[in-house]
Amino acid sequence: MPSVPKTAESADKPSRPTAARKRTGQTDERIHGEIYAAIINHQIRPAMPLQEDALATAFGVSRTIIRKVLQRLAHEKLVDLIPNKGAFVAKPSIEEARQVFEARRGVECILVAKLAATVTDDEIGRLASLLAEEADALARTDRKRRLQLSGDFHLELATLAGNAVMRGFVQELVSRTSLIIALYESPGAVPCSQSEHSDIIDALKRRDGAAAARVMEHHLRHIEAQIELADQPLRVDFSTLFKPVN
Amino acid sequence: MPSVPKTAESADKPSRPTAARKRTGQTDERIHGEIYAAIINHQIRPAMPLQEDALATAFGVSRTIIRKVLQRLAHEKLVDLIPNKGAFVAKPSIEEARQVFEARRGVECILVAKLAATVTDDEIGRLASLLAEEADALARTDRKRRLQLSGDFHLELATLAGNAVMRGFVQELVSRTSLIIALYESPGAVPCSQSEHSDIIDALKRRDGAAAARVMEHHLRHIEAQIELADQPLRVDFSTLFKPVN
DNA sequence: TCGACCCCTTCTGTATACATTCGGTGGGGT
DNA sequence: ACCCCACCGAATGTATACAGAAGGGGTCGA
């Protein structure tokens, strides 16, 4: 993967003098993918500004394309577009985070229950291989890859469930969860899930939809619990933090 | 509401010679709203082309704004954007329609059950007044308004439930349902629901979440059943339709 | 010294000009 | 008569030029 765009990048890399590549259409797709990945992987953190000119020169295109991509990201709730101010990586509030998790519990529990009724051994195998990759990333303490794979696992569940509409919802929710984690996770914690993903697979193997939904609900509450803790720490009370010396 | 844009409108209405109104920002919001309404109200039907130039002149803005609006509508699944071909009002397939209803059952049943736990008499009153308006539209056989109000009812339920994320999902699903109805409803039918909306309110009055969810599920299945019928009629078999004369 | 106002820079918002692609049409060849 | 190819028009895709807003810094005045 070539250079991920940082916010104020060394912009003096012309990259394509307008005649290098045929670049006709589908360029914005690639650029969207790169910025999306950079946000999801926490290479660009919440509230960071996404300046149009900087991105345009970084990717070697005009602001037109960048604006299109930014608007798409805004609709995906990964970017806040503030009129006359610019684009910023979204910074979901605590309340918003709560609602995202509530929505995930609703949607994903339904999906996993539905999936249990139709899942094939083949599909379970695919999920298991994702789980194995996740375990590998855990072993190598590759935090970024693990977060990525954890999201992929949920997304694969949604895909296999066979409802494209709801899969779209899950994709958005998983992305937003990644932002929430970037904002609110306590730095040390999160040896989370992993075994819970395994539990979900077990329930699917037994074709026990109710159990699968129960495990999923527990799993999501678990993730949220690890994060909601950050509710307090974020409100720094300066008067207690910096006590008068007197 | 001023002139709704039709596809190939009388484009010779300059409307604003670039100096009439201050128009700085939030114009696209208005244009989005107008096109959105035109699609939802079936003034523009599925598969109709939305030509950029025609819309631009109709609204007195440049293609830039129109393109922005079209892309937003595309993300909302109301418009299909075909590269190098243009924008068309979305034409959801039968399978897509099925999935939209399945998603609605999932999401809205959860929401209404959640709402039952927190709803106030005031809020029930607001729902009741929407129901009354709907009854009025039914009495006056104002089909368009009735469809609109029916959607509003579901959207209001989602709003009151207090989860903005899921409310967004419902909004998208209700919009798409409107497209589906435009495509697949049998022309004569649909004296549907109405009483079922009333049933939902009754369940909420009793604060009976389980019942409310049950009624909602039944309601949505009912709507879908009236439409899925169109599955057959759409496959016209010419060899039976045009029998040889002899 | 402090505050208010104005200019100036920098960025976003919009319009316009240019490039490219697609489909249709007409002419020529087989 | 049919098919193929090349041109042409129309609409989309992209870049650029221009206008407007917001924030900062500096200067002038009290």
CATH number at residue A154: 1.20.120.530
Q: How many CB atoms lie within 10 A of CB A245?
A: 4
For residues A73 and A98, membership in a common domain is answered with no
pLDDT at position A193, please? 62
Answer with the residue of higher pLDDT: A14 or B185: B185
For residues A203 and A103, membership in a common domain is answered with yes
Is residue B245 in a domain?
no
How confident is residue A19, by pLDDT bands cut at 50, 70 and 90? very low
**Cβ pair A54, A13 in contact under 8 A:** no
- Output the domain CATH number for residue B36: 1.10.10.10
Nearest CA in chain A to B172: A165
Q: Is the pLDDT of residue B200 over 80?
A: yes
Note whether A102 contacts B164, CB cutoff 8 Å.
no
Q: Distance in angstroms, CA of A190 to C1' of C13?
A: 43
Q: Is the pLDDT of residue B21 over 90?
A: no
Final residue of a structural domain among A89, A115, A132: A89
Q: Is the pLDDT of residue A22 over 50?
A: no
pLDDT at position B27, please? 87
Final residue of a structural domain among A89, A107, A140: A89
pLDDT at position B202, please? 96
Q: Distance in angstroms, CA of B62 to C1' of D23?
A: 29
Angstrom distance (rounded) from CA A216 to CA A173: 15
Angstrom distance (rounded) from CA B58 to CA B44: 15
Query: Please, which positions of strand D sit below 7 A from a protein CB?
Result: 11-17, 20-23
For residues A33 and A108, membership in a common domain is answered with no
For residue B72, the enclosing domain spans 1-91
Is residue A125 in a domain?
yes
For residues A107 and A82, membership in a common domain is answered with no
Q: Is the pLDDT of residue B4 over 90?
A: no
pLDDT at position A24, please? 61
Final residue of a structural domain among A74, A89, A104: A89
What percent of chain B has a predicted confidence (pLDDT) above 90?
70
Is residue B124 in a domain?
yes
From the list B68, B96, B165, the residue facing A99 with the nearest CB is B165
Sheet holding A79-82, edge to edge: A49-50, A86-89, A79-82
How confident is residue B178, by pLDDT bands cut at 50, 70 and 90? very high
For residues A171 and A63, membership in a common domain is answered with no
For residues A57 and A110, membership in a common domain is answered with no
**Cβ pair B181, B100 in contact under 8 A:** no
How much is the average pLDDT of A166-173?
Answer: 98
Is residue A11 in a domain?
no
Nearest CA in chain B to A73: B75
The number of folded domains in chain B is 2
**Cβ pair A88, A80 in contact under 8 A:** yes
Q: Is the pLDDT of residue B161 over 90?
A: yes
A110 to chain B, any CB pair closer than 8 A? The answer is yes
Q: Is the pLDDT of residue A245 over 70?
A: no
For residues A193 and A163, membership in a common domain is answered with yes
From the list B103, B163, B165, the residue facing A165 with the nearest CB is B103
pLDDT at position B242, please? 53
For residues A119 and A191, membership in a common domain is answered with yes
How much is the average pLDDT of A188-210?
Answer: 84
How confident is residue A1, by pLDDT bands cut at 50, 70 and 90? very low
Is residue B241 in a domain?
no
Nearest nucleotide by C1' from A82 CA? C12
